[in-house]
């Protein structure tokens, strides 16, 4: 590529921008012009396409390929029709294509037809007739059998001109305008019928033909074949899939629909290789986290998730928890998108795939294409989905020992379960219930949701308009939590002429609801003795009802009073046009805006001041109101010039250059009113003290990019890209940076004679470098102004404990990727294998430095990290008959990452830490040589004898050291050891679809293996005597292990509290004195295997539909999510997370919002 460069070797953005601006304005003027001229359109006319051609003793197949390359018209034919034509010689220059085709085809008994821009070659009727004659001649007996049927696309529309041929025979035909076909005069026997159509797949059916009967096959062809399969790549560029030199996986809207997940990120679970998705939990509207090919950034505050692009417009996917809502299950903003609107999702994983998007997609990109209308009559669809949710897993509790301490019952005790058995307690307190409440189950109820979606589309070939509306309401399983999402979308595509097309869409969304702090709720449930029913939470006067004397608040009352709601108003709009002023140039322009306000309010009542009122001050803050208002605007503009050209006979070329502008502004205002005078009047005027803080963040990027795709004879493709970004977040001298990519695709099955069972083979290789800037304001340091004091109203200026580096440089990720795609047995089996290796260097990290520096964190170009892994996708169709079809898809992903280095002198960068009793805190850290998910915590001492201990890593193979008191010995709290990795070693999923006539069954099994997380809940449960394991609390045991001298421990000890049967005083007991202090106990295997989705769908027969006057189709489905889980984890669903979906830390999951098992009934009507 050649760009004009300035003295520093960089492109001058001003020059380019000015130029592009001029082009843009010109384009606009022409747009208006185009609108005025619209009206006179003509179909593609082969007589106007002039070509020059020189054929010498070539086959018709080669000839057609050449013409395809010259004319850019796709040709379609049955190989058998043209197989015999092997030696053509033809030479002409500047001749109309119409003439060329006539010359080449007509004389060979062929004819052609132009259908939707495709040239379809078929035998002339006379030849077809003669075929029949040949067939008849060869028949020993008159053949009266035949095959007839109808070919449709997945939407049930007829596939006009679909090609039907009998393999191994010469008969064949094409479907008529209603999709019907018929092949008469076949002798009895088994026939392999091959059906194919342009833009659709090829299917082969075995059909038994009998005398005097006509076999009927109706079949649907799936969209796209591997020959012409087109996929959406970066910047909305559609490319033939075969030309891609990198892995690309597409997920269809149908696959997403099966799970009926309200959050599109959750819906993607198990749908593609290389994708790691973790839902935060089952809260209504709760966010989910998505990671492509591992974490390649060490900045825990930076977005590590892929860029979300909807219809070419990057949208915001922030999960904002800056108002202290980290544990409230806030939604990631992509969850605003109505999943019913989605047509397909393309997942761009590697550096080469996302290179054109530049730094914003350095963590991958999720390209969402929404449903668009189709020309023709007005169509409509209505979907109603109802869901019932239950908590899918809960920790097991002991259920025997009740409230008290040292085994002594006390109905006012702070201690929920260190008392005696229920029977012993009942002897003292007859009001004691027969069974303890199992709070972790008792505290969650049945949730439910209902979504209704309506969509319309229709139009002419010049204007297509579509609209959709949806409403979603959900009530959570945690009391008082709910979520709603209302969405309306209108879009239109207008074709003013062959040279100018224009489209636009607007999507309005309102979402939000009431969130509860599941972390706090579960924590309070741990304190609240299971002897009492917490649903009995309020006294008639409205004050709290809790366990008198225990000082513990009632968890449900706290939830009731702490009302936290968010309310998002969002508009996503985009417009785009394509102008093709000349044959070799397309000018594409796309602009979009994503703007939302998120208004959040939390209120807690003040004390009513009543006698005996037990006021939960720790949660209600004596009456408080706060508001957090976010305004976020993303503007995006992309101009792209696409130069199409052919160089010589074999080489075709597509060269694109473009300009990209990205601008965001985020402002927030936080206002808090303290201590309400009137306890339940939520107005700032009613607060004793009001404080407010505001923030503003601007972020801008200008990009200039080029993409050159070269194709050689449709089997070898080379794609080279380059992009230069100018960012607002780096200092001026480092602001501009360039990075290239190259990818190669070779369809080797076109060059080699592969075994017959191999139908397709492709090798691909790519290398890319992607730059990334710093977070906004990472270069600056300064002072905050704190709230004024009282009574002396001093205004304090406090140095921010985050320091910037004014010399930050961009970080770069270099990635290499290689892969192979194979298809066997006429595409019945497909294999896609990818290996990648990504190394990121000079990472900009807000390094958590020793606070003794005076800073908490400093932005530095500090470290490097490597991700490498394999992705394997396997697809197969083991059975396929007329009425029965079985499809299987398997995805396997294994990513290994390693922190290569951090800042010199630093040994670790802590990412997140969670409390544990007795210093059993667990910390996730970046440590050189370790994976990003490394979890550290407090361990038990091991016996090493003369062996040397690595103090940094726990060695579980060594025997436990038992102290002189007979108990295991905890290491010092300061000796934090590596316990486990929170990143999965592999992710796999298997989906299978079985269709029988109108019934289809879909199953999706999903697994993440090798995951470890800190179960904070288990630590708390052991401190409070709740866990099932503590049933042995009154046992005498000998701990397995060795004494300091290496001899085996033989000392019997009692596990209970107080004086044991041996007369020794054991104080607070083993569980509180020892057990709860070992982090290693609570970092559990959080691997799981689950039936993610099971769905049974029934499509009502057409004949029923035709009886109604308005329906054209109806489907009823019954689905379930998380119906079965297998895991060693002892808490709530191990997939959930204590951290918000925007947080890179994934090693913590204790008091999370439980995930849900959903039962879903859905009805879809088309009219």
What is the H or E stretch that residue 823 is in? strand 811-824
* CB of 435 or CB of 697, closer to another protein: 697
Residue 816 has, within 13 A of its CA and on its CB side, a CA count of 4
Distances (CA, A) of 425 to 103, 403, 976, 1035, 1142: 101, 8, 41, 20, 47
> What is the DSSP annotation of 1095-1116?
EEEEEPPHHHHHHSSS-SEEEE
The residue (of 520 and 848) whose beta carbon lies closer to another protein is: 848
CB of 664 to another protein, least distance (A): 10
The smaller minimum CB distance to another protein, of residues 21 and 879, is found at: 21
Do the beta carbons of residue 848 and residue 224 sit within 8 Å? no
How near is the Cβ of 901 to another protein at its closest, in Å?
Answer: 15
* Complex with another protein: residue 478 or 591, whichever CB lies closer: 591
Q: C-alpha distances in angstroms, 448 versus 304, 332, 391, 567, 1132?
A: 32, 21, 12, 20, 19
Residue among 77 and 502 whose Cβ is closer to another protein: 502
Nearest residue (CB) to another protein, 385 versus 686? 686
Closer to another protein by CB, 236 or 592: give it: 592
CA distance 518 to 1138: 9
* Cβ closest to another protein, residue 914 vs residue 1164: 914
Closer to another protein by CB, 405 or 681: give it: 405
CA atoms within 13 A on the CB side of 1016: 22
Choice between 182 and 1073, CB closer to another protein: 1073
Cα(145)–Cα(215) distance, integer angstroms: 8
Residue 872 beta carbon to another protein: minimum distance, rounded to whole angstroms:
38
Q: Of 946 and 974, which CB lies nearer to another protein in the complex structure?
A: 974
Q: Minimum Å distance from CB 271 to another protein?
A: 32
Least distance from another protein to the Cβ atom of residue 360, Å: 15
Longest dimension (CA), the chain: 113
| Antiparallel, parallel or unpaired: β 934-937 and 977-981 | antiparallel
| DSSP 8-state code for residue 538 | B
Q: Which is nearer to another protein, 663 or 671 (CB)?
A: 663
Query: How far apart are CB 1053 and another protein at their closest, in Å?
Result: 17
Those residues whose C-beta lies under 8 Å from the C-beta of residue 612, and which sit 6 or more positions away, are: none
Nearest distance, CB of residue 971 and another protein, angstroms: 11
Separation CA 850–CA 843 (nearest Å): 19
Instruction: Compute the least distance from the CB of residue 867 to another protein, in Å.
Output: 25
For 948-980, b where at least 16 C-beta lie within 10 A, e where not — what string?
eeeeeebeeebebbbbeebbbbbbeeeebbbbb
- Quote the least distance from Cβ 373 to another protein, whole Å: 16
Pairing of strands 75-76, 118-123: parallel
Smallest distance, another protein to C-beta of residue 518, A: 21
995/220 Cα distance (integer angstroms): 12
Taking CA atoms, 294 is separated from 856, 870, 1141, in Å, by 27, 11, 15
Whether residue 305 contacts residue 451, with contact meaning beta carbons closer than 8 Å, is answered with no
Nearer Cβ to another protein (694/1037): 694
10 Å Cβ neighbour count for 210? 12
Q: How far is CA 778 from the centre of its chain?
A: 28
Residue 145 CA, distance from chain mean position: 51
Cα-Cα end-to-end distance for the chain: 51
CB count, 10 Å around CB of 902? Answer: 23
Give me the least distance between CB of 630 and another protein, in Å please: 14
Tokens of 780: 């600056």
Q: Which is nearer to another protein, 803 or 1006 (CB)?
A: 803
Residue 454, number of CB atoms within 10 A of its CB:
17
- Least distance from C-beta 17 to another protein, angstroms? 6
Distance in Å, CB of 335 to another protein, minimum: 24
Could you tell me the smallest distance in angstroms from the CB atom of residue 704 to another protein?
11
């Amino acid at each position: 590529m050649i760009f004009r460069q300035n003295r520093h070797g960089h492109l001058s953005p001003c020059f380019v921008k000015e130029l592009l601006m001029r082009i843009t304005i010109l384009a606009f003027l022409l747009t208006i012009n185009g609108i005025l001229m619209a009206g006179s359109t003509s179909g593609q006319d082969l007589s106007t396409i002039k070509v020059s051609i020189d054929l010498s003793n070539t086959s018709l197949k080669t000839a057609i390929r050449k013409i395809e390359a010259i004319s850019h018209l796709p040709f379609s034919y049955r190989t058998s029709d043209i197989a015999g034509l092997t030696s053509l010689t033809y030479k002409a220059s500047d001749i109309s294509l119409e003439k060329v085709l006539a010359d080449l085809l007509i004389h060979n008994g062929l004819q052609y037809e132009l259908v939707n821009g495709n040239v379809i070659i078929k035998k002339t009727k006379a030849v077809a007739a003669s075929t029949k004659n040949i067939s008849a001649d060869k028949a020993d007996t008159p053949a009266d059998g035949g095959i007839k049927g109808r070919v449709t696309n997945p939407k049930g529309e007829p596939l006009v001109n679909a090609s039907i041929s009998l393999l191994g025979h010469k008969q064949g035909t094409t479907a008529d305008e209603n999709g019907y076909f018929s092949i008469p005069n076949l002798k009895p026997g088994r026939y392999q019928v091959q059906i194919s159509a342009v833009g659709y797949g090829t299917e082969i059916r075995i059909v038994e033909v009998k005398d005097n009967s006509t076999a009927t096959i109706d079949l649907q062809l799936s969209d796209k074949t591997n020959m012409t399969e087109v996929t959406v790549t970066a910047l909305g560029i559609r490319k033939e899939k075969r030309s891609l030199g990198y892995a690309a996986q597409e997920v269809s809207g149908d696959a997403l629909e099966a799970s009926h997940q309200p959050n599109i990120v959750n819906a993607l679970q198990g749908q593609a290789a290389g994708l790691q998705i973790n839902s935060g939990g089952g809260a209504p509207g709760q966010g989910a986290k998505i990671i492509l090919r591992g974490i390649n950034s060490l900045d825990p505050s930076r977005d590590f998730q892929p860029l979300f692009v909807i219809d070419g417009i990057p949208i915001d996917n922030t999960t904002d928890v800056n108002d202290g809502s980290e544990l409230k299950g806030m939604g990631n903003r992509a969850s605003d998108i109505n999943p019913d609107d989605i047509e397909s999702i393309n997942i761009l994983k590697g550096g080469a795939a996302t290179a054109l998007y530049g730094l914003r997609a350095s963590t991958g990109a999720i390209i969402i294409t929404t449903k668009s209308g189709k020309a023709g009559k007005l169509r409509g669809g209505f979907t109603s989905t109802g869901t019932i949710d239950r908590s899918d897993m809960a920790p097991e509790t002991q259920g025997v020992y009740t409230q008290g301490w040292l085994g002594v019952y006390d109905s006012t005790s702070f201690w929920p379960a260190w008392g005696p058995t229920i029977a012993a307690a009942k002897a003292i307190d007859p009001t004691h219930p027969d069974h303890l409440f199992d709070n972790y189950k008792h505290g969650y109820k049945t949730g439910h949701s209902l979504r209704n979606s309506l969509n319309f589309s229709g139009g002419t070939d010049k204007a297509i308009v579509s609209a959709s509306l949806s409403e979603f309401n959900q009530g959570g399983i945690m009391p008082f939590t709910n979520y709603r999402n209302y969405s309306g979308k209108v879009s239109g595509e207008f074709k003013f002429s062959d040279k100018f097309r224009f489209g636009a869409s607007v999507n309005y969304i309102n979402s939000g609801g009431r969130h509860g702090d599941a972390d706090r709720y579960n924590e309070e449930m741990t304190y609240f003795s299971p002897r009492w029913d917490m649903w009995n939470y309020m006294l008639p006067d409205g004050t709290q009802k809790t366990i008198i004397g225990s000082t513990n608040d009632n968890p449900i009352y706290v939830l009731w009073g702490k009302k936290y709601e968010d309310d998002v108003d969002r508009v996503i709009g985009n417009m785009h046009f394509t102008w093709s002023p000349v044959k070799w140039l397309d000018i594409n322009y796309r602009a979009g805006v994503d703007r939302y306000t998120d208004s959040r309010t939390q209120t807690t009542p003040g004390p009513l001041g009543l006698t005996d009122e037990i006021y939960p001050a720790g949660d209600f803050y004596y009456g408080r109101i706060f508001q957090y208002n976010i305004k976020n605007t993303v503007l995006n503009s992309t101009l792209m010039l696409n130069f199409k050209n052919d160089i010589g006979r074999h080489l075709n070329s597509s060269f694109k250059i473009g300009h990209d502008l990205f601008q965001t502004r985020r402002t927030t205002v936080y206002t808090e009113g303290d201590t309400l005078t009137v306890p339940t009047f939520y107005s700032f005027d009613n607060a004793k003290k009001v404080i407010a803080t505001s923030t503003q963040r601007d972020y801008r990027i200008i990009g200039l990019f080029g993409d050159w795709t070269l194709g050689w004879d449709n089997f070898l493709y080379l794609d080279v890209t380059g992009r230069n970004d100018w960012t607002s977040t780096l200092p001026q001298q480092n602001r501009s940076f360039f990075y290239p990519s190259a990818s190669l695709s070779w369809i080797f099955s076109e060059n080699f004679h592969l075994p017959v069972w191999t139908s397709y083979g492709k090798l691909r290789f790519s290398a890319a470098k992607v730059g990334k800037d710093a977070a906004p304001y990472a270069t600056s340091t300064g002072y905050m102004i704190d709230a004024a004091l009282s009574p002396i109203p001093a205004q304090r200026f406090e140095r921010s404990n985050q320091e910037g580096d004014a010399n930050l440089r961009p970080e770069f990720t270099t990635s290499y990727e290689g892969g192979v795609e194979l298809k066997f047995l006429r595409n019945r089996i497909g294999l896609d294998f990818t290996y990648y290796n990504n190394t990121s260097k000079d990472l900009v990290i807000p390094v958590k430095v020793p606070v003794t520096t005076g800073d908490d964190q400093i932005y530095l170009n500090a470290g490097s990290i490597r991700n490498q892994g394999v992705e394997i996708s396997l697809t197969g169709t083991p059975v396929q008959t007329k009425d029965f079809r079985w499809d299987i898809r398997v995805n396997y992903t294994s990513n290994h990452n390693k922190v290569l280095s951090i800042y010199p002198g630093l040994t670790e960068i802590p990412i997140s830490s969670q409390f544990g009793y007795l210093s059993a805190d667990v910390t996730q850290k970046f440590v050189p040589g370790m994976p990003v998910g490394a979890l550290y915590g407090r361990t038990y001492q091991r016996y090493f004898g003369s062996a040397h201990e690595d103090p940094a890593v726990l060695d579980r193979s060594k025997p436990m050291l038992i102290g002189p008191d007979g108990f295991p010995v905890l290491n010092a709290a300061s000796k934090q050891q590596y316990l486990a990795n929170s990143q999965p070693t592999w992710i796999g999923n298997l989906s299978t679809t079985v269709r029988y006539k109108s019934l289809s069954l879909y199953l999706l099994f999903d697994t993440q293996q090798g995951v470890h997380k800190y179960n904070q809940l288990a630590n708390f449960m052991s401190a409070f005597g709740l866990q099932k394991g503590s049933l042995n609390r009154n046992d005498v045991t000998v701990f397995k292990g060795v004494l300091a001298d290496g001899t085996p421990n033989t000392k019997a000890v009692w596990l209970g509290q107080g004086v044991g049967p041996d007369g020794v005083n054991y104080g607070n007991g083993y569980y509180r004195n020892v057990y709860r202090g070992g982090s290693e106990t609570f970092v559990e295997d959080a691997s799981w295997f689950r039936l993610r989705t099971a769905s049974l769908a029934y499509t009502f027969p057409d004949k029923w539909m035709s009886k109604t006057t308005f329906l054209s189709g109806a489907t009823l489905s019954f689905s379930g999510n998380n119906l079965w889980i297998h895991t060693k984890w002892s808490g709530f669903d191990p997939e959930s997370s204590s951290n918000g979906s925007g947080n890179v830390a994934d090693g913590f999951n204790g008091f999370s919002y439980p995930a849900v098992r959903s039962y879903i009934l859905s009805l879809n009507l088309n009219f």
